Amino acid sequence: MAGERMLQFVRLDRETPVKRPALERSHDFHEIYQGFAAAKAAEQASRCSQCGVPYCQSQCPLHNNIPDWLRLTAAGRLQEAYEISQATNTFPEICGRICPQDRLCEGNCVIEQSGHGTVTIGAIEKYITDTAWEEGWVKPIQPLAERTESVGIIGAGPAGLAAADALRRRGIQVTVYDRYDRAGGLMTYGIPGFKLEKDVVLARIAQLEAGGVRFVMNCRVGEDLSFDAIRGQHDAVLIATGVYKTRDVGAAMPGVVQALDYLTASNRKDLGDDVPAYDDGTLNAAGKRVVVIGGGDTAMDCVRTAIRQDAASVKCLYRRDRANMPGSQRETQNAEEEGVEFVWLSAPNGFVGQSVVEGVMVQKMRLGAADASGRQSPEVIEGADYVEPAELVVQALGFEPEDLPGLWGVPELEVTRWGTIKADFRSHATSLPGVYAAGDIVRGASLVVWAIRDGREAADAILDYLAQPAAVAAE
């Protein structure tokens, strides 16, 4: 009986894929976790309790049917497991690698809450989909019937690509416009290879292309092509640009760089591109004392990238303590193993240096009363300032939306007080008829898995819109 294979958590301990030694992995950009072997994946999947109310599923933004594909994996029915996984998740091989499972599915696993250690859901999801690629189960999209309606998608990140996939499966003609020369958005240029190797992203993009999705790259909307022109070419438009405007701590100087510029240069170099700013040392940490400012996942990507570029030292400044940092605790541990030093309760207060940065002025902090979100607010400790020496400072303080109405010449496109596009939280419809928005440009900087969900939801809403007689009449 298949059911007898499950509930093995009472006799089997949690095991994660083997992690490459820190000394070895800190010199390359390959993924740090080895894959499960078939027997180990089946064994770990069998630990699932198949509980009646699966919190792992309810706490997943995509509501992936996790218990079912764990049961099928335990039974060796991997192709069926992949089909169930793919039914709700456009990119399971990517989510299996970069989702913060410790905060989502695994963090809400029932057996973990009872003291047995969570099921290794992310690693099994990665194993299922990697096997699907190896076995040829991942096929190009083949709609049952082609339709004449056309949708333009601005942005080739996870939200835009998820929507493109869903729309093509229904036969819609889809064109994706993006400012970069490769699709994938931050999955390609923001997330380092040691978390997500680029051939994984490029393979999924090639699958979409083979399925009929058209890509127009190196296209800056508002410069190379107007927003109105895109609207005129399509029956509906989805804005999925993400948020790329970076925050900083004020006046900068040579040697103080933005996280996205730094990570993009590194990823381009890893892809084999010519990157002058990397070669001349501007965006290269080799031999330098590096300070990264911030405590989120982007900061973790930066400090671990600097280690791999053979920095002399790498320190991460964060104004709160370890328990209150927004980044993944798993990534923090990986960074510490690789040689990163975290300087908690420390905030930047400017930079020192003449023609180039020589250090960061640091204010020591303590945690005071809780703010509106419930987190303790950091307070400055007077008289405890000092200078942290540095030849390269990377600001990883988060991202904000660009002024799309201004850049695109569409003032009637409504935005919120934060600058994100104002869209209905169910349908993702904007203030413009036939124009929708999804992903970070609506919700602010967030997770890839949330962008996938938004893109899929927006695709459903666009299909409903195209089914309305008014949409056909307006064509």
Name the residue among 256, 244, 251 with its Cα closest to residue 282: 256
pLDDT in tens, 178-225: 999 999 999 999 999 999 999 999 999 999 999 999 999 999 999 999
Where, residue-wise, is CATH 1.10.1060.10 in the chain?
Answer: 2-135
pLDDT of residue 1: 39
pLDDT in tens, 260-277: 999 999 999 999 999 999
CA distance 145 to 154: 25
Name the residue among 98, 75, 71 with its Cα closest to residue 85: 71
pLDDT above 70: residue 473? no
State the average pLDDT over residues 324-350: 93
Q: How confident is the model at residue 471 (pLDDT cuts 50, 70, 90)?
A: low
Beta strands in 255-345 (DSSP E): 256-258, 289-293, 313-317, 341-343
Q: How many CB atoms lie within 10 A of CB 214?
A: 15
CB contact burial 348-375 (16+ within 10 A = b; e otherwise): beebebeeebbbbebbbbebeeeeeeee
Q: How many CB atoms lie within 10 A of CB 243?
A: 22
∠393-308-249 over CA atoms, to 5°?
15
pLDDT of residue 261: 96
pLDDT above 70: residue 474? no
pLDDT of residue 245: 85
State the average pLDDT over residues 435-464: 97
State the average pLDDT over residues 94-111: 92
Q: Is the pTM of this model over 0.85?
A: yes
CATH node for 246-398: 3.50.50.60
State the average pLDDT over residues 238-249: 89
Q: How confident is the model at residue 14 (pLDDT cuts 50, 70, 90)?
A: confident
pLDDT of residue 357: 96
pLDDT above 70: residue 461? yes
Where, residue-wise, is CATH 3.50.50.60 in the chain?
Answer: 150-243+401-474, 246-398
Query: What are the structure tokens assigned to 382, written together?
Result: 């007077």
- According to DSSP, the β-strands at 173-177 and 150-154 are parallel
Report the mean per-residue pLDDT for the chain: 93
CATH node for 150-243+401-474: 3.50.50.60
Pick the CATH number of 2-135 from 3.40.50.10490, 1.10.1060.10, 3.30.930.10, 1.10.260.40: 1.10.1060.10
Q: With contact defined as beta carbons under 8 Å apart, do 218 and 181 qualify?
A: yes
Looking up tokens 């089914």, which residue turns up? 467
pLDDT of residue 37: 85
CA distance 191 to 206: 19
∠449-430-207 over CA atoms, to 5°?
40
Q: Kindly report the length of the chain.
A: 475
CA distance 141 to 116: 41
SS3 167: helix
CA distance 306 to 188: 18
